[in-house]
Amino acid sequence: MRSAYRRLVNLSLALAVAAGIAGGGTALARSLKDVKPHNGVIRAHTMPIQGIDVSYWQGDIDWRQVREAGIHFAFIKATEGGDHLDPKFRQNWNAAKRAGVARGAYHFIYWCRYASEQADWFVRNVPRDPDALPPVLDLEWHTHSKTCPQKISRELALKKTKIILEAMERHTGKRPIIYTDPAFHREVLQGELKGYQFWLRSVAAEPSKIYPGRPWAFWQFTTTGSVPGIKGKVDRNIYNGSPSDWDRVLKWLEASS
């Protein structure tokens, strides 16, 4: 059952990628806004399947308001490194589900920590929830970090990445999604990990212009979003598919739970 579920979810995401970004789309509620909109990503605002990603920085979230505003999914920060659990993870994880927002957990990699320790930490703290979205591994450099600002070699970065991805898949039964930004993708991920779905950060242009040749399933198009139920700014995202693609994902999640 677990392998069948994984194939179905991966198929749905692949269909969405093949479809590309459809122009137009269903008009969204006017309550979803951007404090600092950029013309380069204007099409993302009209895409039908809208989402967010959150951590404790968003404080207490009214998830019912979030859902009513037109948010379909959320990626919720769970763990970082080998010893940090986001203080709001469990609260957000449970409340989002109650409100009917599809959610997945993400791990923020820490390059100065053993990959095995980080994998174990994620497994210990993230529930094996059959109806959750696939987990996400957040891959980026931390040049502004006070404790671990240095970069590591491409080879070592890929080795650590693969160890954590494999552990995430064993734990959840779902092939993880990779989140990344332009710099890390260019320096480490270009041409690599083609068997995974990608969630790409691109806040000034569409992903095809920043990540040429890279298929993607999710797009983080702004870090200055405004969504009812959340105080202050929040990252906004879209799913690269039609409402019917998304409905198939949700039906498969329900069937597996």
SS3 category, 254: helix
Diameter of the chain measured on Cα atoms? 46
Is residue 53 annotated as part of the catalytic site, yes or no?
yes
DSSP sequence for 118-181 = HHHHHHHHS---TTSPPPEEEE---TT-SS------HHHHHHHHHHHHHHHHHHHSSPPEEEE-
Q: Which two tokens stand for residue 12?
A: 């749905």
Query: How far apart, in whole angstroms, are the C-alpha atoms of residue 14 and residue 32?
Result: 27
Residue 249 · residue 11 · CB < 8 Å: no
The two structure tokens encoding residue 43: 């099409």
* Burial (Cβ within 10 Å: 0-12, 13-18, ≥19) of residue 150: exposed
Pairing between β-strand 234-239 and β-strand 218-226 as defined by DSSP bridges: antiparallel
Catalytic position from the list 120, 129, 131, 140: 140
Catalytic residue among 53, 80, 138, 181: 53
**Tokens (6 digits) for 148:** 């671990």
Clarify whether 34 is annotated catalytic: no
Listed residue (235, 197, 201, 237) closest to 217, CA to CA: 197
Query: What's the one-letter identity of residue 141?
Result: W
Which residues are marked as active site? 53, 140
